[in-house]
Amino acid sequence: MPLAIFDLDNTLLDGDSDYLWGVFLAEKGIVDGAWYERENERFYEEYKAGTLDILEFLRFSLKPLSEHSMSQLQAWHREFMRQKIEPILLPAARRLVEKHRQAGDTLMIITATNAFVTAPIAAAFGIEHLIATDPEQDGDRYTGEVAGIPSFREGKVARLDAWLDEHRQNLVGSSFYSDSHNDLPLLERVDHPVAVDPDDSLELQARRRGWPIISLRG
């Protein structure tokens, strides 16, 4: 079955879950609010500009996970889903996912955002396969470090290739939907790349290459 692959932030969601998790932590007083908000905003702007140092960002974003128990983190995440994520679940994104489900495609989300934040969001879309940046664990606690390759830029391709080998699948007939120029390495690999509400750089590339450009926000 062909793969239908979706970026998450600003593609299926009308916002960025990684950024919003930081906003949520600051609003709850779980992190030092003013400093954390400034750093969170800086990293987000660097991501959009294509200059993000992913390992520096992950040291920042994963540290709060290491400072609290899993049960507490999960309780906060349920609140986060209600407050920040449910309002930005795009109805048109749900319809697009269902279109591919009805076609019999294998559904996957691939995202640079960590798996703790994104696994419940993938479940909300009914998407079983998730490739996300994996936070390292020691028993039932997060360490604040990354396990394996972050699924960012070329890392998304490497992680997907490993998944394809493990599941004995290929990219014949595959689609990938993304908003970001950071995803060009993976968009170039699939048979059907689609730019979704793209940033300026991706829109320019999509027009040059004749890729479809769609909106899930209209």
Q: Which residues are catalytic?
A: 7, 9
Q: What residues contact residue 137 under an 8 Å CB cut-off, 6+ apart?
A: 143, 147
* Closest listed residue to residue 218, CA positions, set 48, 85, 91: 91
d(CA 218, CA 208): 23
CB 73 within 8 A of CB 82: no
Torsion 26-79-198-127 (CA) sign? positive
